Amino acid sequence: MLGMKTRKASLRRAIKALSDWCRRHRHRPLEEQHAALTRRLRGHYNYFGINGNAKSLGQLNWASSMLALGRRGSGRGAPLSGRSGLN
């Protein structure tokens, strides 16, 4: 069986939706943001997790960690040890 992957438009739409969600919920406690973000990512992985789609899922995972952690705090970003919890 040949591998399949997420269409570029679908991946962009998913990243944009995550970006909008992170922006709207940035004021929430970090634990609440983490729980909601992992639920969203798990749902995306369950829907798009097919053979040959690891690269697109990795792009979404990377984008989510940058969106969720990159704009918190005083511009320093989050420590790298906190990134593993978003998988």
Residue with tokens 């952690």: 69
Quote the CA–CA distance of 43 and 75 in Å, as a whole number. Answer: 30
pTM, two decimals, is 0.60
Q: What is the pLDDT along the chain (87 residues), one digit of tens a residue?
A: 566 666 778 888 888 888 888 888 888 888 888 898 889 888 888 878 777 788 888 888 888 877 766 655 555 555 555 555 554
* pLDDT value of residue 72: 54
Quote the CA–CA distance of 67 and 36 in Å, as a whole number. Answer: 14
Quote the CA–CA distance of 55 and 75 in Å, as a whole number. Answer: 29
At 16, the amino acid letter reads K
